Amino acid sequence: MFNVRVQVTYKDSVLDPQGQAVQKAIERLGFDGVSGMRIGKSFEMQVAGDDQAAVEKKVAQICDQLLANPNMEQYHYDIQKVATNQ
Amino acid sequence: MFNVRVQVTYKDSVLDPQGQAVQKAIERLGFDGVSGMRIGKSFEMQVAGDDQAAVEKKVAQICDQLLANPNMEQYHYDIQKVATNQ
């Protein structure tokens, strides 16, 4: 089994007004030095299987077909094998 | 300068209906073996400074005061120093 964490963010070329709003709110709270805020979605899941390459392929397909909008969004994922005693 | 990535998710005790809906959609697409889907928000930003401890404290304060709802959400963050030639 693998723990999978997918992060979907806007492409760098796409404006992120929500991120800009949060950045301004941070400034209004009195925190300085924060820049380049980008907001995205994260998906955490467990995927059954022993073959990391097969799991990576499956995760990429799930991202392409469902989780990310390929026109506006990019994704990356971390895959971590879960130690089991089976 | 530091690259900071904050991830905000529902506490484990809080139901995540959006995650369940996405998990069912994944099953309907024909992918099996995916479980425990949880959806969250991710925030990527750059924070100025040289002192990692001070940046961590600032990020924790920003999370507590703005990014996460302490009643329902938990957060964790990764901080990575950006190499500069200054």
Task: Tell me how far apart the alpha carbons of residues A19 and B33 are, in angstroms, rounded to a whole number.
Answer: 34
Task: Tell me how far apart the alpha carbons of residues A64 and A3 are, in angstroms, rounded to a whole number.
Answer: 19
Question: Residue B23: inside a domain, yes or no?
Answer: yes
Q: For residue B60, what is the domain's CATH number? A: 3.30.1280.10
Pair A25, A34: CB distance under 8 Å:
no
Domain containing A10: what range? Answer: 2-81
Average pLDDT, chain A: 93
Q: Do A9 and B36 touch (CB under 8 A)?
A: no
Q: Do A58 and B23 touch (CB under 8 A)?
A: no
pLDDT per position as a tens digit, B3-50: 999 999 999 999 999 999 999 999 999 999 999 999 999 999 999 999
Question: Residue B86: inside a domain, yes or no?
Answer: no
Task: Tell me how far apart the alpha carbons of residues A13 and A11 are, in angstroms, rounded to a whole number.
Answer: 5
Task: Tell me how far apart the alpha carbons of residues B86 and B84 are, in angstroms, rounded to a whole number.
Answer: 6
Q: In this complex, is the C-beta atom of B58 within 8 Å of any C-beta atom belonging to chain A?
A: yes
Q: In this complex, is the C-beta atom of B23 within 8 Å of any C-beta atom belonging to chain A?
A: yes
pLDDT per position as a tens digit, A16-55: 999 999 999 999 999 999 999 999 999 999 999 989 999 9
Helix (H) / strand (E) containing A81 = strand A73-81
- When divided into structural domains, chain B yields a total of 1
Task: Tell me how far apart the alpha carbons of residues A25 and B78 are, in angstroms, rounded to a whole number.
Answer: 21
The conformation of residue B14, written as its DSSP 8-state character, comes to S
